[in-house]
Amino acid sequence: MMTFRHRDIVSLIFCWALVIAVSGCGQDPLPVQPVSGLVTYKGEPLANAAVTFATQDENGRSAPGVTREDGTFELTTGGARKPGALAGEYIVYIVKEYPVDATGKRTTAEKIAAAMERLPENISSQPRMVSEIPIHYSDSRSPLRATVKKGKNDFNFDLKD
């Protein structure tokens, strides 16, 4: 048989569990909308490019993604990387770069890392990156804009020289 004190403790624990359960059932703190799309350059799918929807709202959040081999992408938002983006206006940045060696030849990240390991400790060097697409798509001159609305959003960006 439980004493009065044990019953109080059990009731208190039950109430706290109920409060915690109910508080978790509220509105999603990040009401993201599904966002996907396709990036092409000169009519061909652009693989492995970084796509960022940069928010125009001071309370908004930017949403990044990376294109697959077929040029398609999906965005994510927030620390938990929730699929999608918040509704709102965005400037779209697309970056597709590759590293070059000291002679300006295209190289791989692995080759650059190996070369940097051979450098004396007092020398620091960053690999030089070259854009595969016109640079204005990746900076403040980007002409690309998107409006994310409630519901499914699909965007196609055909980049030109």
**146 or 107, higher pLDDT:** 146
Q: What's the token pair of residue 26?
A: 């509220």
Q: Tens digits of per-residue pLDDT, 147-158?
A: 999 999 999 999
Do 81 and 66 form a contact (C-beta atoms < 8 A)?
no
Q: Tens digits of per-residue pLDDT, 55-109?
A: 988 888 999 999 999 999 999 998 767 899 999 999 999 999 988 877 778 877 6
> For the stretch 111-136, what's the b/e string if a residue is b when 16 or more beta carbons lie within 10 angstroms of its beta carbon?
ebeeeeeeeeeeeeeebeeeeebeee
Q: Tens digits of per-residue pLDDT, 19-66?
A: 344 444 545 578 999 999 999 999 999 999 999 999 988 888 999 999
Q: Give residue 126's pLDDT.
A: 66
pLDDT at 8 over 60: no
- Rounded Cα distance, 65 and 50, in Å: 6
pLDDT band at 145 (very low <50, low <70, confident <90, very high): very high
Q: Give residue 120's pLDDT.
A: 60
Fold (topology level) of 28-159: Immunoglobulin-like (2.60.40)
Provide the CB-side half-sphere exposure for 74 (13 A, CA): 9
